[in-house]
Structure 1
Amino acid sequence: MIRALLIFSLLCSSSILSAAQWPAWLGNELKPQKGSHWQIKTSTEGVEFMPVKSAPTILMVVSRKAKSYDTALKTLLAIYARELPQAHIVVRLLPVEAGSVNSERLTAMLKKAELNVDLIYSVGSKATVALRGVYSGGKIPVVSVNAKDPVLLGLIENDHGSGDNFAFTSLNLPAPITLRYMKRFKPSLKQIGVLYAKSNQSAYATQYLPLKKTAEQQGIKVAAVVVDQDDPSLTLEVSMNRAIKELKEDDPSLSSSILWLTGSSSLLARMQEINFYAKDLAVLSAVPDVVNSSPDSALMSFGVSFVNNAHQAGLYGLQILSGRTAPGDLPVGQISPPDIAISFAQAQRINQKIPFVLMEMASDVYGSHGAVIRSQGESMQEQQ
């Protein structure tokens, strides 16, 4: 009987894990709980998750530490535990040195994988771009997860498919659809402040630029709110205060303006600060996961949740492993209609009315005290 291994190893780090130490770039929520499909074993080399038998081997290359990537991995683990329980899954960190991907080390990792790996997941836009750059046309199928639109990233020409060994999913809504929902939220919309991290080029290329082009074609002003904590002139506080001052020049009450938070991972964890600097300005997001029951929630989101995107990537992977579909024949995986989430606590905080049509369409709704009213489209009685 072949024992399957799920090895979490710090391939790109010279340090060696001590016994029972968990990799710093993975969240603790990935540790198996009682009754889990996986059995855990720690060693100086890493962490092993062992099912009873072994089947296909799957390599998952993670861009870096991020809550969103933990969510994607957790979702994929659950899918394979249920649908292909003997799978051998290897999770590795993208080799990065001085902020840039080490292409030679990445290529060596992939060449080694060709000896025994049946499928690869690129987790995050950075990993997806890097793998596409060095492994297009390679022997092993690759599926992207938790990554931005591959067409807007310049990885493929259209959303019909790659025609090679890559299958893509997307976290992006097309800009016209995004703007349509913004106008449903605020019919008088005249201005949008778009918040993104300077280091997140995928958010800039696939969310800021397309929205700016589409909005300006309809006479709506778009103000860039660029954040770089290493630049004193671009800290979150400075950039937001400057942008809000600019928006108030044409809309003193901000009644026809919104703030749009892109999928910049470094900013998604800073909702408390974003709400503080936004004051009475409505904060909407492209990431449904940033709307929740906490006091640090965004007011509303419409986009693709990390969980639903990972589910789609999981289904793509299962199709490829079964031999039913070639990766290059799969269209870019897009969620439609989008996931909509609403926080009435945030709406109440800034005295913002929620259009009934969006309330009807929302899959996740949180009440004025943060309790769940609706989850994944299922209504619940709010607990006071």
Structure 2
Amino acid sequence: MKIQVTKSILLKELATASKYRGREIKGGNTIGIPFISLSASEEGLKIRATDNQVYYENILPLHIVGEEDLEEVHVVIEAGQVALTQKFDEVLRKFPSEKVEIQVTGEKIILTADNVNAEVSTMDSPFDEAPTGVEGESINSPKTFFDNIITKTVFASSESDSRPLLKGINIKGDGTTFTAIATDSHRLAKYEDAQSIQIDNITIPAKPFASVLETFSDDGKVMLIPLGNYVKLQQEDKNVFIRLLDGNFPDTTKLVNVLDTVSHISINSKELINAIDRAIPFAKNDKGRPVVQLEMFDQGIKIFSSAEDGSMTSNVSINKSNGVVISEKIVLNAKFMIDSIKSHNSKEVTLVIESKGKPVYVLSEDKSNTQLILPIKY
């Protein structure tokens, strides 16, 4: 293999692919493939990496639009494939010139530019082909649609390995309403959108889903295609496959039950976040997380915390309310509350409160985003 490449463009692409390069774990075992595959052919310059959960594949174009004109990305002089270790990235970064020639000879990669030469070891190792399977109904939407899913749900997914299915975002579409749900069993985030999307009930690992979307351009659309045990995200020549989580996601329909007869409080988002944040220094801890107390009164709510070394109390005015005023104090996870309010990205949110033992709901103005937080028993 012999190619000429633009250093900065290749390094940027390798940095992205490195997120999904396989790695060694305890006991000397390896997850995924511990190198990046670089292939040169008439098709272009293909970069692939996999950590078994994510399979990344992108083809670099011959040219990109530069500041003044088209900028050359690479020239394929001789086709071939090579395995790139982390050392290759480090060596390439040290070259002073933007244009670098890369040639593979046996188990050596030779880099040449101006008066600089370097050799990096490689290995004769095949790379797995991309996952295949029967394609399901796809989603073809602007990237902002997928960004919305992440913003409004990913924070509520679990980080515990004991219940791996809860580490995902469950999505489905019935042709009328699209729904995305995440829960760690202490809180739940539900996002709904009126979309003519038809897609089966699948659960995508939350963190890889968010990470992969960050690699896509904000311009243009992204296609999501269920593919057997994977879901494929596609934009132009970039294809990324994420292994789906196995099992049946919990039925949350009975959990999200917002009653009209209980207290609904419309309140300024920023003021509420600030009040909760002020209470954190004196908040008690529940498994390492700060908890604060909430108490309703006629014209507002009180957010407070107390400890041996002090206390903090803030009264926040209510913009609008209906239903019965609850006299009970409610204890809530401060971080969960702040995350939920921020996910709405709106000036005002609605709190739905029934009693100290029932879930507290945080609703968006258009009711498309529902957050559920379980109170803490003390």
TM-score category of the 2 structures, normalised to the smaller one? under 0.3
The alignment's TM-score, normalised by the length of structure 2, stands at: 0.25
The alignment's TM-score, normalised by the length of structure 1, stands at: 0.25
Higher relative contact order (CA 8 A, sep 6+): 1
More strand by share: 2
Task: Choose 1 or 2 for highest CA Rg.
Answer: 2
More helix by share: 1
